[in-house]
Each structure stands twice: as structure tokens, then as C-alpha cells.
Structure 1
Amino acid sequence: MAQNTVEKTSVTLLGLGAMGTALARTWLAAGHPLTVWNRTPARAATLAAEGARAADSAAEAVAAHTLVVVCLLDDESAGEVLADVDLAGKDLVNLTTSTPAQARARAAWARERGARYLDGGIMAVPPMIGVPQAGGYVFYSGSRELFERHEKTLGVPVGTTYVGEDPGFAALHDVALLSAMYGMFAGAAHAFALVRKEDIDPAALAPLLADWLVAMAPAVHGTADQLRSGDYTKNVVSSLAMQVAGTPTFLSTAEQQGVSPELLTPYFQLMRRRMAESGGEEDLTGVIDLLVR
């Protein structure tokens, strides 16, 4: 047997949706022996034609290899699929989207069944899998030893970022970043709505909008520095008072353009609340404290 074949870790993969299929094909292309299972057998059959071994049941698939990767719809699906499966001695890597609490509970559940556990949060879409330059990666949390043992194999389809021993941290990082993404999408939606009825080509606005968002993104480092120091007046460029004073212009423009302000008003309300409580010399960082219950 060739040396490069000996060094390839065998992988079991449960779940062959768009993401699971992309992961499977990347491991196969890299020469990793792969056993797959899916509730819809046709998807497994397609990968079998490409070199994977298709198991008839989840239990059979799990029994095949030590490293078991789960990529199912949700935490409930993972629990159902693995309910009657012998996990003793297995290295269970769960890439199923979940909440931090679900991830912690699933880690305890796995340990009770004799498995080692690692949770993952995928920061990528299927077309990014197997394409290093696309910038995708997976957050991992749980056993550091387990992560280090399989880091090379897990890094074949997409990059890896370990965020801590707490099994819930991968899911927490995942949702935190995606929440920021949706906030960005909300702002972009409002921007496009403002010009929607005007003789302005959205394709002309798009690069201006993208460049502006990129230019503003580094502000998060200043926010993090203020949170760590507790000094929200540190290195302030535009004070809260100045920014609150400018909000009527945004609301009036929206009204004049026939655009609902509902994507902006919640944040503006928080800004005004924070200024009423702390004065206007600090930055926007104090809004975060209003959100934490």
C-alpha cells in the first residue's frame, strides 16, 4: 500500500445535503477513505459511484471508522439519527447548526455514550468548500486534544479555527458572526430601498456600498478595545451625541423617499436611550450594554 494512502484518516460522514455532499467530495478528492450515510439513499449512491462506501444505516456507518462527522439539518435530527447507535470509542464531530446550549447538551450526551466530542460551526456555503481562496472555515470547540488529533483531516475541505474547550463556543461564534452579517444585510437593504425609485442604477451603487462597508469594518477593533478597557470614551471619533443629532436626517430622508425606517429605528432608539443614561461623549459601544439582559 502506498505511503500516502496509509496516512489518510478514514472518515464517516452522516448527512449528505448540499454541505455534506461538498465535504464528502473534498475528502474523496484528497484520498480519504470515506463511508457515508443519508436518509435519502440516492444521495449516498451518487457518492458511492465516486468512490465512497455507502452504508445501509447510520449504525453501520458509525461502526466503520473512529472519526465520525455529523452534518444534519438540526440538533433534533442528530439526536434521532444517533439515538440507537453505539458511539463508544468514537471521535464525534458535530457540524450540525445548533445553539450554544444545544451543543453543550450534545457534548454531555456524547460523553455519556463513551464518545469524544467536538462541535463545529461552519462559516461557509457549499461552493466555498474545497476552495481555499474562498476564505471559508469552521469554528471548532470542545476537546482541544481531539481537535489537534484531527485538525489536518478536518482542514481538508475548509479551514479550521479552534475557539475553546467549552463545546458551546463554536455555535456561539457562528451565530455572533452571522448576526452581524444580517445586520449588514439590513443596512444594505435600506440603502438600496432609498434609491429604488430614483434614476440610480443599483449596480452603480453596489461597489460604492461594498467599499464603504469594508472601510467601516475595522471599527469593530475599536469597539472590542473599549469593551476590554471599560472606557467607552477612548479614541472616540464621532461622539454618541453627534450621531444621535444626525438621526433625524436619516428618518426624514426615508420618509421623503417613501421608505419604511423599520430597519433603522430600533438602533436609533437604543442610541437615544444610551445617551440619556450616560451622556453623549462616548462612542456607540454602550449600546451593547443595553442589549445584555
Structure 2
Amino acid sequence: MTDNTVTKHPLTLLGLGDMGTALARTWLAAGHPLTVWNRTAAKAEALAAEGAAVAASPAEAVAANTLVVLCLLDDASVGSVLDGIDLTGKDLVDLTTGTPAEGRRRAAWAEARGARFVDGGIMGTPAMIGVPASGAYVFHSGSRALFDTHRAALQVPAGARFVGEDPGHAALFDMALLSGMYGLFAGISHAYALIEGEDIAPKELAPLLSEWLGAMGFFVGNAADRLTSGDFTTGVVSNLAMQVAGSGTLLRTAEEQGVSAELITPYLELMRRRLAADPVAHAGEDTVGAITLLKR
């Protein structure tokens, strides 16, 4: 199939921040008729030159097409921008960053107004949008019928992954992955802080740190298996008691190097609490058991 035979799907985009603009340019480059609106109208001028139709108001933009994509500041902005607009028969895809609860509430809100709804979580930065090799993709959850109808258009800027009909799941997957990312960033930051002032260049540590973290990637699958089975003891190589005992060395090293341990202390304390709760039962466990203490 050549590009000329692919149906060019018309759509509306509300919100032209850095991410919204990147999305818009990708759809325009792929030949999809696009109507845009932004609260600060000047941001739409460059897109108009690239072929976008610029709406004077959110209502005009929504009326232009069945598929309406939102990429706004927050969930409150979505409600404010769409307030009083007739959404009957519209398909709303909300790519605004939000929480699972916000996604579920917004889905109910949209459906009460006669619209189908899909929430989205973008896994990527604006620079990654429209670049197939970047690995960027978008989680989608909510109306499966909406997703199936518009999938061809939705996957133009980045890969489209449907993760269920619960509208909150796209945000939940999004936040789960970002939480893992920030935890990783915290450990990396602590590692670089330890060598600051020493005769060790950051670029000397970098390949070693990258290699080590890659080797430790097995923890992701290991944790999933143990949380699923509830078995925290079979096949353990480095048990909880040993890791808690060894954690003191990490803390003393940070103190000697004049580095705050605030980025790593929370996880070390979680392991200590798990062991202290029942030293006999938990000593031989994998550290995965500490995860069970996080649920309130």
C-alpha cells in the first residue's frame, strides 16, 4: 500500500504547548487534515503556515471534526476548555497528563455528554514524537471502539498501546513507568555525588554504572514473578538479612564522602522495616518482599 492510498484522518487538537505542537506537526507532515486551537493564539501561527486550520474558539475546533485530541496543562484545564461545548457524537482522546482517578472521572463526564472517551499517557518527550526510532509510544485506555476506529491516526505521532477499557489504566501505566524512572535517576544521582571531588571523572564512572544497571535489570521480571506467586524465598541469591546488614556500608560511605543519603535512605529503611517485622520469617527473603509495605 502506498502513502497515497492511506486514508488521511481529519482531527482536532486542543493545546499547542511543546508536546501539542510536536503532535500537530507530525499529523500535518503525514497529511492528516488538522484543526488546532490554543489559548495563546500566536502559538498556532506557525502551524497555520504548515497547513493547519486554526479555530477561533474551542467550540469551533470541536465542531470541526469527530476526533478531538486534548493536550492541555492539566485535567482542570480540560474541564475549563470544554465547558459548555456540545460533545454529542464526539470522540475525545485526552493526552493531558493526569492521575488514574482523573481519567476515570473525565471518562464519566464525557460519556454523560454523549461522547466516547479514551485517556492517554505519552511515554516520550516532544523531541521523540514523530521519530519512529525514538521508541516513543502512547498508552491508551477507555473506549475500545473509539481506539479501534481512530488507531491509524493515533499511532502517527508515536506507537499506540491499548491497555484496557478502564479509563484510569493509561495514567496508571504512565505513572508506574515514570516512578521507576525517577527511582533510577535518584540512584544514578547519588552515585555521581559520591565521586565528586575525587580523582574519578564522571565519564570514567558512566560506562561502569550503565553496565551495572543493565545487569541489574533482571529485578524487574524477578519482582513480577515473586509478587504474582507470593514466594519471596525460593532461589534467593542475596537475602534480605545480608542486604540490610550491608546497607550500613552504603550509609557510612555517603557520610565519609560528605554526601546526603536522602535519595537512597527510603529504600534502605523499607528493607530494614521488612526484616524487623519478623527477622526469622523474612531474613531469607528476596528484597521484593519490602514492596508489600508500601500499600496503605
State TM-score, norm by structure 2.
Answer: 0.96
Tell which deviates more after alignment, 135-144 or 204-213: 204-213
Q: Which runs of 5+ in 2 are unaligned?
A: none
Return the alpha-carbon distance in structure 2 between the equivalents of residues 135 and 186 of structure 1.
23
Aligned position for 1:19? 19
Match of 2:284 among 267, 281, 284: 281
Instruction: Name the residue aligned to 2:122.
Output: 122
What is the letter of the counterpart of residue 103 of structure 1?
Answer: G
Aligned to 1:189: 189
1:28-70: CA deviations, max 9, x gaps?
0100000000001111111000000000001100100000000
Q: Deviations over 1:13-33 (max 9, x none)?
A: 000000000000000010000
Amino acid at match of 1:255: E
1:53-92 matches, cutoff 5 A: 53-92=53-92
1:125-136 to 2 correspondence within 5 Å?
125-136=125-136
Pairwise CA distance, 1:5: 7.0
Instruction: Give the Cα separation in 1 of the matches to 2:40 and 2:31.
Output: 25
1:237 positional shift:
2.0
Q: Deviations over 1:123-167 (max 9, x none)?
A: 100000001111111111001121111111100000111111100
Deviation sequence 1:190-216 (CA, Å, 0-9, x none): 000000110111122122212221221
Take 1:85 and 1:5, find their aligned partners in 2: how far apart are those partners?
34
In structure 2, distance between residues paired with 1:265 and 1:100: 28
The answer (yes or no) to whether the contact 1:72–1:96 under 8 Å persists in 2 is yes
Aligned to 2:266: 266
What are the Cα deviations for residues 162-191 of structure 1, in whole angstroms up to 9, with x where unaligned? 111100000011111101111011101100
Whole-angstrom CA distance in 2 between matches of 1:237 and 1:110: 51
Aligned pairs for 1:132-211 (under 5 A) are: 132-211=132-211
For 1:62 and 1:140, the matched residues in 2 are separated by 20
Contact 1:5/1:31, CA 8 A, preserved across alignment: no
In structure 2, do the counterparts of structure 1 residues 249 and 115 end up closer, same or farther at CA, with 3 Å as the change threshold? same
Give, in whole Å, the separation in 1 of the partners of 2:131 and 2:212: 27
What is the CA-CA distance between 1:235 and the residue it aligns to? Answer: 2.7
Task: Check 1:53–1:251 CA distance in 2 against 1; reply closer, same or farther (3 A cut).
Answer: same
Structure 1 segment 232-247 matched on structure 2, within 5 A: 232-247=232-247
Distance 1:234 1:12 in 2: 53
Structure 1: how far apart are the matches of 2:261 and 2:16? 41
Q: CA deviation at 1:6?
A: 7.2
Give 1:256 shift. Answer: 0.7
Q: Secondary structure at the match of 1:119?
A: strand
Contact 1:15 1:71 in 2 (8 A): yes
What's the CA shift string for 1:54-90, capped at 9, x where partnerless? 0000110010000000000000011100012111100
Secondary structure of the equivalent of 2:93?
A: strand
Looking at structure 2, the residues matched to 226 and 279 of structure 1 have their Cα atoms a distance apart, in angstroms, of: 14
Greater Cα offset, 152-161 or 211-220? 211-220
Unaligned runs of 5+ in 1: none
CA 1:3–1:137 in structure 2 vs 1: closer, same or farther (change >3 Å)?
closer
Paired residue type of 2:283:
G
In structure 2, how many angstroms separate the alpha carbons of the residues matched to 1:178 and 1:131? 21
Pairwise CA distance, 1:238: 1.1
Letter in structure 1 aligned against 2:131: V
2:286 match: secondary structure:
coil
- Using the TM superposition, give the Cα deviation of residue 285 of structure 1 relative to its aligned residue in structure 2, in angstroms: 1.2
SS of equivalent residue, structure 1 residue 285:
helix
Stretch deviating more after TM superposition (216-225 or 64-73): 216-225
Residues 244-268 of structure 1: CA deviation (Å, up to 9, x unaligned)? 1111110111111111111111111
